Amino acid sequence: MAKPLTRRQFLQRIGALAALTWPALTRADTKASKASVHYRNHPLDHKMCSMCRYFLAPVGNSNGMMMRGLTPKGTMGVGHCQKVRGVIDPMGYCVLFTPRQRVPRYR
Ligand code: SF4
């Protein structure tokens, strides 16, 4: 029969277990699924991912915007989102949409 653990042994084992699992837990994907945020690959009114503050444009496209805010479908690659998992269509939309801050123009 196994000897019961002392309090010190128990705490040491819990500490070792936490040290082993903590990195894996902190790496866990915290982004939402597309279904949970009602993502769709077409805009709602004039709200679209390329105008959202969480949109990460594809590399090589500085801000995901073309032609004064218009983003013709098919001319841009897919991007990613800081909040939602997977590839994101610049013309998409979800309930987490948050407009980008406008940069003030100075004359
Ligand atoms: S939060 Fe939603 S609307 Fe904004 S970029 Fe991500 S998927 Fe698109």
The binding-site residues of ligand 1, defined as CB within 6 angstroms of any ligand atom, are 39, 49, 52, 54-55, 81, 83-84, 88, 92-94, 96-97
CATH architecture classification, 30-101: Irregular (4.10)
Other CB atoms within a 10 A radius of the CB of residue 45 amount to 6
Where in the chain are the domains? Answer: 30-101
User: What is the rounded distance in angstroms from the CA atom of residue 80 to the CA atom of residue 103?
Assistant: 22
pLDDT at residue 26, rounded to an integer: 62
48-100: pLDDT as tens digits: 999 999 999 887 544 445 544 444 444 467 899 999 999 999 999 999 999 99
Q: Using H for helix, E for strand and C for coil, what is the string for 87-103? A: CECCCCECCCCCECCCC
Q: What angle do CA 29, 35, 41 make, to 5 degrees?
A: 105
